[in-house]
């Protein structure tokens, strides 16, 4: 097969999935990755991909909307037999418009579709629904990364062709960082989250939770990532260490040093950082939201909270009951290779391509 991946959100979990999928597919197929660059795009972006993969840069910023469509259309015409796989909202919209009246088959993985956002008004959500319905008329099958996302797509786009393929995780780079969870029973002090400092991750709640533990000097909070300047300053005033953007290896080192992964996210697709934390062996304490609840089984592979006060209570329980927390961490760690294997992911995607 000839496969073209189109990615504008070239960072964080979306990039992880495209990188992993393309590097596996090149073993059997011809693969091209058409990409754009964001501020948080890793400086070594091109080195993440197998050298046999063709990399094509297209500026897909919204300010370059029309030129991006023209450029993508030119690329697609050169590969009339290629399967087009668009990733995330901007590339999904621009890519499908560029395919108008072209013969290529198209697949779209939103990696947390825009309808899941909790920081927009009903009117704005309806506008996004209309835009998505318009793009869907042109072309495409949806590949949702979680059951929550599949349900949302089916709700707003009842005539869409939706398939579910949960995200996967490459365990090999993580193995050197995995904790041995057989005899750890000391109190847990180091609490971490990973991601951009933006409304989706709800840094305000993270601040409030950290402030509740400021009188406990041995309990440390770390935010691995960067983003909104004012929110970053608020986190730092709350005693949170903010690392700035880190390479994947650096992120894994931070996770390995910590004990508890705290997610205050308001919505997610299927968060790769949470899967990585599971694989390393952290205790998961996460907000009850789409994406998070698709990964964590309450009291079996982690704790789920509903608000700040509930989160503080969950953390206090985990800190004071380390043996109980250890059992949840072990359950989560053991589940990862079974549920989130690369082979399962790649085979499921290819099966959808061939339908």
User: Residue 183: its pLDDT value, please?
Assistant: 62
Residue 140: left (phi > 0), alpha (psi -120 to 50), or beta? left
Q: 24: which residues sit within 8 A by CB, 6+ positions away?
A: 342, 346
Q: What is the DSSP string of 228-252?
A: -HHHHHHHHHTTEEE-BS--HHHHH
pLDDT of 22-54, one tens digit each?
A: 999 999 999 999 999 988 888 889 999 999 999
Q: At what angle do helices 248-257 and 272-280 cross, to 10 degrees?
A: 50
Q: What is the pLDDT of residues 112-130, one digit of tens each?
A: 998 888 888 888 888 988 9
The share of the chain scoring above pLDDT 90, in percent, equals 78
Give the chain's residues under pLDDT 50.
Answer: none
Contact assessment for residue 276 and residue 251, using Cβ atoms and an 8 Å cutoff: yes
d(CA 239, CA 220): 8
Q: CA 317, 318, 321 angle in degrees (round to 5)? A: 80
The pTM is what? 0.88
DSSP-derived secondary structure letter, 115:
G
Ramachandran area for residue 143 (φ above 0: left; ψ -120 to 50: alpha; else beta): beta
Residues constituting the chain: 355
Alpha-carbon dihedral 80, 83, 88, 92, rounded to 10 degrees: 40
């Amino acid at each position: 097969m000839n496969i073209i991946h189109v990615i504008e959100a070239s960072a964080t979990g979306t990039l992880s999935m495209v990188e992993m999928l393309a590097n596996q597919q090149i073993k059997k197929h011809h693969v091209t990755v058409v990409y754009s660059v964001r501020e948080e795009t890793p400086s070594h972006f091109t080195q993440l991909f197998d050298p046999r993969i063709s990399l094509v840069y297209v500026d897909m910023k919204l300010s370059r909307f029309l030129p991006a469509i023209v450029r993508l259309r030119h690329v697609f015409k050169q590969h009339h037999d290629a399967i087009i796989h668009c990733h995330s909202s901007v590339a999904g919209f621009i890519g499908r418009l560029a395919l108008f009246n072209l013969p290529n088959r198209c697949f779209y993985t939103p990696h947390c579709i825009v309808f899941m956002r909790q920081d927009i008004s009903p009117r704005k959500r309806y506008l996004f629904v209309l835009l998505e319905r318009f793009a869907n008329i042109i072309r495409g099958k949806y590949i949702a990364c979680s059951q929550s996302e599949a349900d949302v797509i089916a709700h707003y786009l009842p005539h869409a062709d939706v398939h579910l393929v949960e995200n996967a995780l490459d365990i090999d780079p993580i193995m050197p960082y995995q904790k041995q969870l057989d005899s750890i029973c000391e109190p847990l002090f180091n609490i971490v989250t990973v991601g951009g400092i933006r409304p989706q991750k709800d840094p305000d709640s993270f601040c409030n939770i950290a402030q509740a533990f400021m009188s406990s000097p041995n309990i440390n909070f770390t935010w691995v990532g960067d983003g909104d300047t004012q929110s970053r300053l608020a986190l730092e005033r709350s005693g949170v260490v903010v690392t700035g953007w880190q390479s994947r290896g650096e992120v894994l080192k931070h996770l390995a040093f910590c004990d508890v992964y705290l997610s205050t996210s308001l919505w997610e697709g299927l968060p790769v950082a949470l899967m990585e934390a599971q694989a390393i062996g952290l205790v998961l304490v996460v907000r009850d939201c789409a994406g998070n609840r698709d990964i964590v089984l309450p009291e079996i592979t982690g704790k789920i909270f509903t608000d700040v006060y509930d989160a503080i209570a969950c953390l206090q329980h985990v800190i004071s009951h380390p043996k109980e927390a250890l059992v949840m961490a072990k359950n989560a760690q053991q589940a990862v290779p079974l549920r989130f294997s690369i082979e399962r992911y790649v085979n499921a995607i290819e099966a959808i391509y061939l339908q």
